[in-house]
Amino acid sequence: MKIALAAGTRPEFIQLEPVIRELKKRDLESIFIHSGQHYDYEMDRIFFDEMHLPDPTHYLGIGSRLPGEQVGEMIIRSEPVFSSERPDLLLVTGDTNTALGVSLAAKKAKIEIGHMEAGMRSFDRSMPEEINRIIIDNISDYLFPPTVKGVENLRANGIVRNVCLSGDVMLDSILYYRGLIEKGSRTVDELSLDDGTYLLLTLHREANTDDRERLKNILSAISQAPFPVVFPIHPRTRQRIENFGFTLSENIHPIVPVGYFEFLRLLHRSRKILTDSGGVQKQAFFLSKPCITLRANTEWVETIENGWNILVDDDQEKILGAITDFNPRGSPDLSLFGHGQSSGKIIDAIGKYTGRS
């Protein structure tokens, strides 16, 4: 069996790494398509260096474009790859333009598709990611929802065939690399911070960064936090802050995006995390850190229901209230996302469904 894997953004690299490791362990043939959606060193190459990801078999070099152009170029540039390589299956994850564009090209080339993180829904169709998820789920042949709610959402969409409750490969990664995560943080040392005394902030979704008032509300609330705030700034977010003429307050410490392990060390040592990222919500949950989500909804409702995540949108009062008063008790129930063996379950299921191994 020959499996193609496609990625182009930080979350995709993180989620595909355990799968690539599993394929290598089983000596299964694979090709790795890198779309080039993220292309700065801090957003891309550092993951290959740190996680020992193999060099891409094919690099599409898409770069930064308008969403429609990006998806269109993904299709145009990946079609020849499928024509020449003829893999048995394409495996994608999540809700990015990379996952959508490459999946559409595979479907046209009559290549079967497996979708990790299938079935996750925010039920907000104003989010581009939500549209991507729905389309990918509906053209996929094999679906791997990480949670029971993902299975239920697929069933509500009429998708019941070849659905495998796999658990979350991101949990696989957290557990596998736990020893590296628990090492000291270079950034914490450089900023002369103590463990548990600072907040960690990530902010990148266009609904927050491209809307001047929303971005102003969020930054204004965080500027009033009674704690220092470490802020790895996404390149687009930095540009928007500059374009809008905003100045970060003294309690906010902007830094360049950091690698996977350094980010998790920062998260592990923080007091709380503020984020609009779906992946970071899960990472906080897996590392038992209170998560304040700067959105009105989330696809990861399990983290809310389990008491370790709270939605505050861009409401300044709610943001400040969560910073000071949101203190979950007990421990998060990681079993909601599996037991750290999701990569193996996915490869086993592909072998079962396709009759190949």
Nearest-angstrom CA–CA distance, 73 and 65: 9
CB 90 within 8 A of CB 105: no
Give how far the C-alpha of residue 1 lies from the chain's centroid of Cα atoms, to the nearest Å.
Answer: 27
Question: Across all residues in the chain, what is the average pLDDT?
Answer: 95
Percent of the chain at pLDDT > 90 equals 89
Name the active-site residue from 34, 204, 234, 268: 204
pLDDT in tens, 121-152: 999 999 999 999 999 999 999 999 999 999 99
Integer CA distances (angstroms), 186 to 44, 82, 128, 183, in order? 20, 42, 35, 9
Spatial separation of the C-alpha atoms in residues 145 and 154, rounded to whole Å? 8
- Sign of the CA dihedral 92, 93, 96, 100? positive
Using one digit for the tens of pLDDT, what is the confidence trace for 22-44?
Answer: 999 999 999 999 998 765 545 56
CB 210 within 8 A of CB 130: no
Per CATH, the number for 2-168+339-354 is: 3.40.50.2000
**What integer pLDDT is reported at residue 211 of this predicted model?**
96
- Length of the chain in terms of residues written: 357
204 labelled catalytic: yes
| Alpha-carbon gap, residue 21 to 284, rounded angstroms | 23
Alpha carbon distance 135, 195 (integer Å):
42
pLDDT given at position 53: 87
Contact 270, 263 (CB under 8 A): no
* Confidence (pTM): 0.94
Tokens at 69, concatenated: 């152009």
Tell me which range, 4-13, 41-50, 60-69, 74-83, is most confidently predicted by mean pLDDT.
74-83
User: What integer pLDDT is reported at residue 330 of this predicted model?
Assistant: 95
pLDDT for 40 equals: 57
> Domain 179-336 - what CATH class?
alpha beta
Instruction: Check residue 10 and give its pLDDT.
Output: 85
Confidence of residue 236 (pLDDT cuts 50, 70, 90): confident
Nearest residue to 80 via CA among 113, 111, 54: 111
Q: Kindly report, as residue ranges, where domains of CATH 3.40.50.2000 are found in the chain.
A: 2-168+339-354, 179-336
pLDDT tens, residue by residue, 260-314: 999 999 999 999 999 999 999 999 999 999 999 999 999 999 999 999 999 999 9
Q: Which of 13, 72, 15 is nearest to 42 (CA)?
A: 13
The lowest-confidence range among 37-41, 189-193, 222-226, 264-268 is: 37-41
- pLDDT digit string (tens) for 69-80? 999 999 999 999
Cα dist from 354 to 1, 192, 216, 351, whole Å? 9, 54, 50, 5
Measure the CA–CA gap between 73 and 39, rounded to whole angstroms: 15
Residue 41 pLDDT: 45
